[in-house]
Amino acid sequence: MAQMNFGGVMENVITREEFPLEKAREVLKNETIAVLGYGVQGPGQACNLRDNGFNVIVGQREGKTYDKAVADGWVPGETLFSIEEAAQRGTIVCMLLSDAAQIAVWPKIAQYLTPGKALYFSHGFGITYKERTHIVPPADVDVIMVAPKGSGTSLRTMFLEGRGLNSSYAVYQDATGHATERTLAFGIGIGSGYLFETTFKREVYSDLTGERGSLMGAIQGLLLAQYEVLREHGHSPSEAFNETVEELTQSLMPLFAKNGMDWMYANCSTTAQRGALDWMGPFHDAIKPVMEKLYHSVETGNEAQISIDSNSQPDYREKLNAELKALRESEMWQTAVTVRKLRPENN
């Protein structure tokens, strides 16, 4: 375990150098990894593990997602099974279904969590909010987590490019005495860049805050607000979109991802530099109370309950599709369709 300096705070991290793939294969050589669910995280983790030489099977009910698993090379009756049969066969049972689906299938698979198995998650939701989800593992199994900090698609794409997506890891229950090494081996097996320790609770609190905040919710709100102000003051859709979204995603994000925001500030015009430094404070002061309100809603379980309640509604999918349709058909994101077509690589 290496100690690294993160902004003046020392943290323990696990790297591929100190926990190489060969060690991970040795730790899990007698395990059958059963990946339940082939939707968001399932394909990336299952395929990366398979490509890295681990014994992997997939559990998925029949339908479009099942067909995708077949197209990815999983063989019905050999490496592709029903969710229940995969759970029975697996020694590490991976709950990579959606949070709502985990709640629904838990009564069916709990019986297959026999002593010595490991129950694996990539999100702390089901365990942290167990009073609401009723996911309560037996005391004689390991309960572990590796949470990639990105989408399953990114996990797979970066793996194929020879890179790795950073992941957090946690051990909630160590029944065998080997839960930590199982967890770290799994994290290396899926192709993590490096692994940093957390808890199930901290993971779900940070994850729910992040996706509602800077990763998706807040960024859409911020972009739309700026786009609307520019449009209301007479700017064209193309100009408003380029100044709001296109320059951010295509030019600036890669630069400050690589070099940091201080570098970005030091390498722009003096006019942009002065304005950014002056206005970051008012934006921070306006946004932080909203972030505090959001975190409180996560911490109290309110966000979890909203998710559970909405996902359990029979018309949830129809309502969701209507909301996504409205977002997709908004002027800003319809402008994006045209702008993407006009990018040089598409001409």
Helix %, strand %, coil % of the chain (to 5): 60, 15, 25
CB 72 within 8 A of CB 49: no
207 is in an annotated binding site: yes
Query: What is the C-alpha separation between 111 and 114, in angstroms, rounded?
Result: 7
Catalytic residue among 123, 134, 233, 284: 123
Phi and psi (nearest 5°) for 254?
Answer: -60, -35
Strands 92-95 vs 118-121: parallel, antiparallel or unpaired: parallel
Orientation of helix 270-299 relative to helix 200-212, angle to 10° = 130
Is 134 an annotated catalytic residue? no
In angstroms, the CA 215 to CA 203 distance is 15
Question: Parallel, antiparallel, or unpaired: how do β-strands 2-6 and 9-15 relate?
Answer: antiparallel
Q: Is 142 annotated as a binding residue?
A: no
Distance CA(42)–CA(58), nearest Å, equals: 8
**Is 247 assigned to a binding site?**
yes
Kindly report the CA angle at 225 between 219 and 231, in degrees rounded to 5? 135
Query: Per-residue DSSP letters for 39-107?
Result: SSSHHHHHHHHHHTT--EEEE--SSHHHHHHHHTTPPBTTTEE-HHHHHHH-SEEEE-S-HHHHHHHHH
Q: Is 281 exposed, middle or buried (0-12, 13-18, 19+ CB in 10 A)?
A: exposed
Q: Which residues are part of the catalytic machinery?
A: 123
Binding residues, as ranges, are: 207, 211, 243, 247, 269
Binding residues for substrate, as ranges, are: 269
